[in-house]
Amino acid sequence: MRASPLYKRITTALVLIPPVVMGILMLPTAALALLAGLIITLGAWEWAALIGFPRYGYIALTGAALIVAWGLPQHSSTLLGLPVFGVAVWGLGLLVVWGYPVLPDWWRMRPIQAVAGILVLIPAWASLVALHEGRLFGVSNGPRYTLFFFVLVWVADSAAFFAGRRWGKHPLAPKVSPAKTLEGLWGAGAATIIMALVGAWWLDLETQRWLLFVVLCVVTLLSSVLGDLFESVVKRTHGAKDSGALLPGHGGVLDRIDSLTAAAPVFLLGLVLLRKIMT
């Protein structure tokens, strides 16, 4: 009997989640950076195949960019540079999603799309590393914030999926991803608010920070949706359904980290701003 896509999706998630959680909580930041770099490299491999760019050359470019990012001076202004740049890049990503399918000719050029992949992946990696370290927003329990961030995006994504299947009637972005619905987004929003309140308690935030933390989590949700839609634009541009087939029921690595790539810089910078506002 052939397994259903939903069964594959749930089984794959159950297999992957425990090692991810253990890695976040138990690994030192340097080791986590190496592991995240490997995942980013897998994503780059799929991105190259998606846009028709030479894979090995693209992996070399991604590896070089990761090395440069890791070797940057370790002071606050430099560490914030890549996440800030990442948020700016996603501003352009919003324009691409908003304009699809009417996009400028230069967007369809493979070198431009190759650069876009680097600009999506590297700031996300830098943001996750800085989030795990915790120094930029003044905490010593960065791994707990990192785990909360992952769970937040996972729960929101799952809530959108199931709410959309149950109540979805109105497409969110019909030209980009017809399966995504406004009802799914509302479901994700409700789950995000609940998770934000649980997270504020679990992370032991001061009561006066709770409201701003909920707002940050909602903005993080919206940015994760943008990441998902942006990858959908790239896939539609090249006539692909999934970025790969490595993860049964989920597609490829990019299909699982697209939301995280957009959300990580936003969540990190939000925590930095939250600290500045409340001090």
pLDDT, residue 12, reads 59
Can you tell me which residue has the tokens 């504020």?
A: 200
pLDDT, residue 13, reads 63
Evaluate whether 196 touches 152 at the Cβ level (below 8 Å).
yes
pLDDT, residue 188, reads 96
Report the C-alpha gap between 26 and 201 in whole angstroms.
22
Closest CA to 47 of 122, 124, 114, 107: 114
pLDDT, residue 150, reads 95
- What string of pLDDT tens digits covers the 279 residues of the chain? 444 555 555 665 677 788 888 999 999 999 999 999 999 999 999 999 999 899 999 999 999 999 988 887 665 566 788 889 899 999 988 998 998 888 877 787 888 999 999 999 999 999 999 999 998 888 889 999 999 999 999 999 999 989 998 898 999 988 898 889 999 999 999 999 999 999 999 999 999 999 999 999 999 999 999 999 998 898 888 887 766 555 554 567 888 888 999 999 999 999 999 988 876
> Letter for the amino acid at 162?
F
Closest CA to 82 of 257, 217, 268: 268
Evaluate whether 257 touches 13 at the Cβ level (below 8 Å).
no
Q: Decide: helix, strand or coil at residue 175.
A: coil
Evaluate whether 279 touches 244 at the Cβ level (below 8 Å).
no
CB-based contacts of 190, cutoff 8 Å, min separation 6: 159
pLDDT, residue 279, reads 67
pLDDT, residue 249, reads 47
CB-based contacts of 163, cutoff 8 Å, min separation 6: 183, 184, 186, 187, 188
pLDDT, residue 244, reads 56
For 95, how many CA atoms within 13 A lie in the half-sphere containing its CB?
7
Q: Please, is 156 exposed, middle or buried when counting C-beta atoms within 10 Å of its C-beta (0-12, 13-18, 19+)?
A: buried
Q: Decide: helix, strand or coil at residue 177.
A: strand
Evaluate whether 142 touches 133 at the Cβ level (below 8 Å).
yes
Q: Which helix (H) or strand (E) holds 178?
A: strand 177-181
Q: Please, is 182 exposed, middle or buried when counting C-beta atoms within 10 Å of its C-beta (0-12, 13-18, 19+)?
A: middle
Evaluate whether 188 touches 159 at the Cβ level (below 8 Å).
yes
